[in-house]
Amino acid sequence: MTLTELAQRALAEGISLGRLAVMLESEETGIPLAEIVGRVREMVRVMKSSVSEGLGHMEDSTPVRPGVFERARRSRTGLSGGDAAKVAGRIASGRNLPGNVLLAKSVAYALAVSEVNAAMGKIVAAPTAGSCGVIPGTFLALAEVSGAGEEDLVDALSAAGLIGQVIGERVGLSGAQAGCQAECGSAAAMAAAGLVQLAGGSPEDCIHAAAFALKGLMGLVCDPVAGLVEVPCIKRNATSAAVALASAEMALSGVRSRIPPDEVISAMAQVGRMIPPALRETSQGGLATTPTGLRVSHEMAGKT
């Protein structure tokens, strides 16, 4: 189904995109609606615990000397960890850019979840493990600021999932298939639509928000250093969260994508096919083959 058809159907039935998503899933699979909603609710809870796991260690080790937390939360390779704490610490001391609390929190939480993932903690792949920080980062930051409750988050996550289904069917959701635009790009589009719904926007606002995010991240390559889900994936989750927020802001203001959302997805699919294999999760180009990227890769290989 197209995004336009889905938005029209939700509008005609007077339901949210999230509600439509769980209804369609129930119709297709025969799984009772309440069970599907329950599964999504469980994912929202895991997302919350991933964020607090990623940040919680900071609170534990703040009184201790600097660096203690970073060792505690580093990944198995030692390549990543501790950055969420830096951003969260700066917010806590009120030194973030003036008026930038929602964005700063989204960034901190997106980093937190992605760092938990790299450190072999529990996360929800949404849509993938490599892009698991964008949705919880933005959703939970907004919920904290706006006071949205758990059921609102469940509905927003369902709406995000519906957007992901359309992209998944027409483009794919793996870096190997279509580059990072299919992972962090899809995550940002899903998040943007969910944020719009959380803020009370219409189904049409949601799909345009998704289109803005896809346009903003179109062509993003997948070039992981040493083939690992760490560099640059973790920070791309944070920057993709910012794209999602900007996209939601535009859509909620009534801004419309000049290229219809479904045509944007078609363009994304075409771009995905045109991205050379070296930049599709094979670590044969981009950041993976910079002098530093190659050095890290050789060090990792030396460990095996």
Partner 1 sequence: MRLLDVLGPVMIGPSSSHTAGAARLGNIARILLGEPPIRARIILHGSFAATYRGHGTDLALVAGLLGFAPDDERIRDSFTWAAREGLEFSVETGDLGDVHPNTARIELTSRSGKGLSVVGSSVGGGKVEITEISGLPVSLTGEKNTIVATYPDKPGVVAGITSILAKVGVNIATMRVARSGRGKTAVCVIEVDQDIPEHVVQEVRRLPMIEKVIVVRAQ
* Residues near partner 1 (CB under 8 A): 21-22, 24-25, 28-29, 36, 39-40, 42-43, 46, 75-77, 79, 116-130, 132, 157-158, 160-162, 164-165, 168-169, 173-174, 176, 226-230, 300-301, 303-304
| Closer of 61 and 186 to partner 1 (Cβ) | 186
What sign does the CA torsion over 221, 225, 228, 230 have?
Answer: negative
Structure token digits, residue 38: 């329950």
Shortest reach from residue 204's CB to partner 1, in Å:
20
| Closer of 57 and 103 to partner 1 (Cβ) | 57
| Closer of 138 and 174 to partner 1 (Cβ) | 174
- In 177-229 the beta strands, taken as DSSP E runs, fall at none
Cβ partners under 8 Å of residue 266, min gap 6: 170
Residue among 156, 151, 104 at smallest CA distance from 126: 156
Based on C-alpha coordinates, what's the Rg of the chain? 19
Shortest reach from residue 74's CB to partner 1, in Å:
12
Q: Which residues pair with 222 in a beta bridge?
A: 280
Q: Are the C-beta atoms of residues 112 and 87 closer than 8 Å to each other?
A: no
Shortest reach from residue 97's CB to partner 1, in Å:
30
Residue among 155, 179, 156 at smallest CA distance from 167: 179
| Closer of 175 and 201 to partner 1 (Cβ) | 175
Cα torsion through 59, 60, 63, 67, rounded to 10: -90
| Closer of 7 and 21 to partner 1 (Cβ) | 21
| Closer of 17 and 211 to partner 1 (Cβ) | 17
Distance between CA atoms of residues 223 and 233, nearest Å: 9
Shortest reach from residue 14's CB to partner 1, in Å:
21
Shortest reach from residue 90's CB to partner 1, in Å:
25
Structure token digits, residue 88: 């969260």
Shortest reach from residue 101's CB to partner 1, in Å:
27
